[in-house]
Amino acid sequence: MNIDDLLNDPIQYVKKTAQSCGRNVVAFFPVGVPIELIHAANLQQFPLIIMSEDFSAADAYMHTFACSLSRSVLQKFLSGDLDFVKAFIIPDICDSLWSLYNIVKLTDPNRKLYLFHYPPKKDDKSLNYFKGEIIKLWEFLKELSLSQSSEEILKDSITKFNEQRKLLRKLNNMRKSNSPPFSGTDFFKLMLAAFFMPVEHHIDMLNSILGNIEKWGTKKEGVRLLVSGHMVENVALIELIEESGGLIVADDMDIGSRHFSQDLAVRKDIFAGIAEHYLMTPSPYRHSVEDRAEYILKLAKEFDASGVIFLIRKFCDPYLFDYPILRRMLEEEGIPSLLLEYEFPFSAAILRNRVEAFIEMLR
């Protein structure tokens, strides 16, 4: 499977994959939603990392100051492009997603929806509460499955995703080299594919890449950068940074290192293990800004990044609230940073000018 073909038409890819495997499709936002549960229930995952350049239908229901990702998903939903989706899992992490959940519920009362409650803290009480939420989600997913599911199957799914994480870490560690064998754009595309493809297929792809690393990707030189954000659905934004003289060698993103930085421990209480894994990964939705700063600083030093670019979607308050403190803490460690507040569709010329000026400052 060609990654570019998948990314050019992810909806069609998910449709075909689900049909060939005989699975129902579950759409979700890859922010703290355990993908292992979807796989173990023998369902086809569909990460809602999709774009729309037309918001005419969505704007009739949702304010234009909602983020472009929520509006894109709503536009696709209202236009019928997501009619093949059996159920949606929407986390309650921001006002835009709460609004999306309520609008979908209002406009299509028969559609299966799951509002995934996410605790804002990471203490013992939050962990116990989150474990309960994961168990409820597991029961919901089992009802959608066309085959039997069990905790043993769930353990097997966790093992497979840990194998994927191990291979991604191995590939990612090659970026520590003074001259990485592939670009940040190459790795970003591979990470996007990780959330769309069945994990077994993605593991095969990773093994093939690692076995022929000199033939994969495009070797690139540039100023070493770390990017921080959550979900970037358009590869063009990553390409723009590298075309402007940067080389992305590390990331702090939900569809990046947060997914593979640590294995999910298989414990006797399997749901407690899942809850701890997803609650302890640094994120503005449940962690202090100090925890995030520590994580970013560790990555920047480990991968020898000269600067950090914060990719923050316009109107994304959880990330925008953290940014001033993160910038100051990075400055105290002598690491320059740039805020790129973007919205799709974005103005490439304006963003390119800002990135080029930042990179010139770092040279």
Pick the CATH number of 3-151 from 1.20.140.10, 3.40.50.11890, 2.30.110.10, 3.40.50.300: 3.40.50.11890
360 has a pLDDT exceeding 80: yes
Residue 169: band (very low, low, confident or very high) from pLDDT cuts 50, 70, 90: very high
- State whether CATH 3.40.50.11900 applies to domain 174-362: yes
Reported as a single tens digit per residue, the pLDDT across 77-117 is 999 999 999 999 999 988 899 999 999 999 999 999 999 99
Tokens of 326: 């993160």
Proportion of the chain above pLDDT 70, given as a percent: 99
Q: Per-residue pLDDT for 65 more than 90?
A: no
Determine which of 52-56, 191-195, 209-213 has the lowest per-residue pLDDT on average.
52-56
| pTM of the predicted protein model | 0.94
Q: The tokens of 133 are what?
A: 């939420």
Q: Could you identify the residue written with the tokens 């690393």?
A: 213
Asked if the domains 3-151 and 174-362 are classified in one and the same CATH topology, the answer is: yes
**Inter-axis angle of helices 151-173 and 270-280, to 10 degrees?**
30
The mean per-residue pLDDT over the stretch 304-329 comes to: 92
Question: In which band, very low, low, confident or very high, does the pLDDT at 282 lie, cut at 50, 70 and 90?
Answer: confident
Where does the chain have alpha helices with state H?
A: 3-8, 10-21, 35-40, 68-78, 95-107, 124-144, 151-173, 184-196, 199-211, 235-243, 257-260, 270-280, 289-302, 317-332, 348-362
Q: Which two tokens stand for residue 12?
A: 């069609």
pLDDT at 22 over 80: yes
Confidence of residue 64 (pLDDT cuts 50, 70, 90): confident
**Burial of 342 (C-beta count, 10 Å sphere; 0-12/13-18/19+):** buried
Give residue 1's pLDDT.
63
Conformation bin of residue 80: beta by default, left when phi > 0, alpha when psi is -120 to 50 = left
Residue among 362, 345, 327 nearest 240 (CA)? 345
Site of tokens 């670009």: 183
Strands 44-47 and 25-28: parallel
Q: In the chain, where are the structural domains located?
A: 3-151, 174-362
The gap from C-alpha 338 to its chain's centroid, in whole angstroms, comes to 21
Average pLDDT over residues 163-190: 96
Q: Does residue 363 surpass a pLDDT of 80?
A: yes
Distances, alpha carbon 316 to alpha carbons 285, 294, 313, 320, in Å: 11, 22, 6, 6
48 has a pLDDT exceeding 70: yes
Q: What is the pLDDT of residue 333?
A: 94
Q: In a 10 Å sphere around its CB, with 0-12 CB exposed, 13-18 middle and 19+ buried, how is residue 124 labelled?
A: exposed
Is residue 5 within 8 Å of 24, Cβ to Cβ?
no
Higher local confidence (pLDDT), 241 or 31? 241
CA 54 to chain centre: 23
Report which of residues 58 and 286 the model is more confident about. 58
Q: What CA–CA distance (Å, rounded) separates 268 from 284?
A: 29
Residue scoring higher pLDDT (47 or 318):
47
Out of 26-35, 239-248, 268-277, 345-354, pick the least confident.
345-354
- The predicted pLDDT at position 234 comes to 84
